[in-house]
């Protein structure tokens, strides 16, 4: 791979053109100054046709091996393939001299994630977890309220990604699902845990209740995870694909007031409808979906900050060109994977799992 000049476009190869690749990554890449979607990997003829239709000039190949043959014409690879392949494909990209972005989960296990981060250091390239929900409007709003001290000292945070899906997810029904990094913890749970750690710091203990509501699934599809942070805050996290009625998206309670927000961020809805991040109303939530700041009988609507998934790729360009910090450090994803592993132990054994501080990430790992 040749190093791009300061004003040259970074050429991106995208592995996978399903929901993640086509609906999330491709539009963000296409609308980020300094990036160009140069190649897509998919075996599906319909997806290949869509890629060529929506992204003029893109090259479509049917395997990752064919992408590596073109490594000299690329700068970055985005891995949006099935979970089990994430770390291996990102490792191949790094060894080909390319930077890598990895959709969630970053890896199947914390050990696999550490090995991937070590490979990036050896290669002198970036490997960046795609934790786009750090730029959800509701999370940005809560971060602003915390910075302003509007809630006082927070003691409890509740956060939910709850969906209702009667049909089984094929990869969750596979006998290999657990080893492949499938299940609601690695899926929706990745975002919930990442947001909680981002807001309130490393976790000291983890307690989880895990269930398989759909009998066809081989892994959990309904999860409750309770974190006690080293800061003293307690996070209660709910991830489910079996929730006929969803609770509040998030609630934060402090000694001066509380913030409650219903409904998920609008950006996924917009992307699925074909909108792009360069639209004038991108990420803007209507007033009837705003959350409230409450203190006793007092209630005040809080305008939701504009969601901004595009900031991820803007920051990626700056990190590659200027050496700025990456939009999401790999160590943060590893910290989240440690929590997921502790939750799996807790759910299986019915006990609280203690974490010990880790010098590299400041997060934690399960005690033996």
- What single-letter DSSP state applies at residue 71? G
The Cα 329–Cα 159 span in angstroms is 22
Say if residues 94 and 119 touch (Cβ distance below 8 Å): yes
Strand partners, 154: 254
* pLDDT at residue number 8: 84
All residues at 6 or more sequence positions from 340 whose CB lies less than 8 Å from its CB, including other chains? 105, 185, 186, 189, 190, 193
Confidence of residue 357 (pLDDT cuts 50, 70, 90): low
What pLDDT, in 10s, does the model give residues 155-206? 999 999 999 999 999 999 999 999 999 999 999 999 999 999 999 999 999 9
Q: What are the percentages of helix, strand and coil residues in the chain, rounded to 5?
A: 35, 25, 40
**Model confidence at 364: pLDDT above 60:** no
* pLDDT at residue number 123: 98
All residues at 6 or more sequence positions from 191 whose CB lies less than 8 Å from its CB, including other chains? 104, 131, 133, 161
**Model confidence at 115: pLDDT above 60:** yes
What is the mean predicted confidence (pLDDT) over 16-27? 97
Report the C-alpha dihedral over residues 279, 280, 281, 284, rounded to 10 degrees: 100
Distances (CA, A) of 346 to 231, 342, 352, 354: 21, 6, 6, 10
What pLDDT, in 10s, does the model give residues 44-102? 999 999 999 999 999 999 999 999 999 999 999 999 999 999 999 999 999 999 999 99
The separation between CA 363 and the C-alpha centre of its own chain, rounded to angstroms, equals 17
Pairing mode of beta strands 154-162, 127-130: unpaired
* pLDDT at residue number 197: 98
Q: Where do the domains of the chain lie, and which CATH numbers do they carry? A: 10-130 (3.40.50.720), 133-307+338-356 (3.30.360.10)
Confidence of residue 4 (pLDDT cuts 50, 70, 90): low
**Model confidence at 359: pLDDT above 50:** no
Pair of tokens at residue 261: 């927000």
Average pLDDT, the chain: 95
Confidence of residue 1 (pLDDT cuts 50, 70, 90): very low
The Cα 214–Cα 167 span in angstroms is 8
């Amino acid at each position: 791979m040749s190093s791009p000049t300061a004003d040259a476009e970074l050429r991106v190869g995208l592995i996978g053109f399903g929901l993640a690749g086509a609906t999330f990554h491709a539009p963000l890449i296409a609308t980020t100054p300094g990036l160009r979607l140069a190649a897509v990997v998919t075996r599906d003829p319909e997806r290949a046709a869509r890629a060529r239709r929506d992204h003029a000039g893109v090259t479509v190949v049917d395997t990752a091996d064919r992408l590596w043959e073109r490594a000299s014409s690329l700068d970055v690879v985005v891995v949006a393939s099935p979970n089990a392949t994430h770390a291996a494909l990102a490792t191949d990209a790094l060894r080909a001299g390319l930077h890598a972005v990895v959709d969630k989960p970053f890896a199947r296990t914390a050990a696999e994630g550490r090995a991937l981060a070590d490979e990036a250091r050896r290669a002198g390239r970036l490997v960046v977890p795609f934790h786009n929900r750090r730029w959800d409007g509701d999370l940005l709003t809560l971060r602003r309220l915390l910075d302003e001290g509007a809630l006082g000292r927070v003691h409890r945070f509740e956060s939910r990604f709850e969906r209702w899906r009667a049909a089984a997810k094929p990869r969750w029904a596979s006998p290999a699902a657990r080893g492949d990094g499938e299940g609601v913890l690695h899926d929706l749970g990745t975002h919930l845990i990442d947001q909680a750690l981002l807001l309130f710091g490393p976790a000291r203990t983890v307690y989880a209740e895990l269930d398989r509501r759909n009998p066809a699934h081989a892994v959990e599809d309904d999860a409750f995870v309770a974190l006690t942070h080293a800061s003293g805050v307690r996070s209660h996290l709910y991830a489910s694909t079996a929730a006929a009625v969803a609770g509040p998206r998030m609630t934060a309670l402090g000694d001066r007031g509380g913030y409650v927000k219903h409904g998920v961020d609008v950006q996924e809805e917009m992307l699925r409808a074909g909108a792009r991040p360069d639209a004038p109303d991108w990420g803007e939530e209507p007033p009837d979906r705003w959350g409230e700041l409450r203190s006793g009988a007092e209630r005040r609507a809080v305008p939701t900050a504009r969601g901004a998934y595009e900031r991820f790729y803007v920051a990626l360009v700056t990190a590659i060109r200027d050496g700025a910090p990456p939009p999401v450090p790999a160590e943060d994803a590893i910290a989240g994977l440690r929590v997921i592993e502790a939750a799996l132990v807790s759910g299986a054994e019915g006990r609280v799992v203690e974490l010990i501080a880790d010098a590299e990430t400041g997060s934690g790992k399960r005690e033996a």
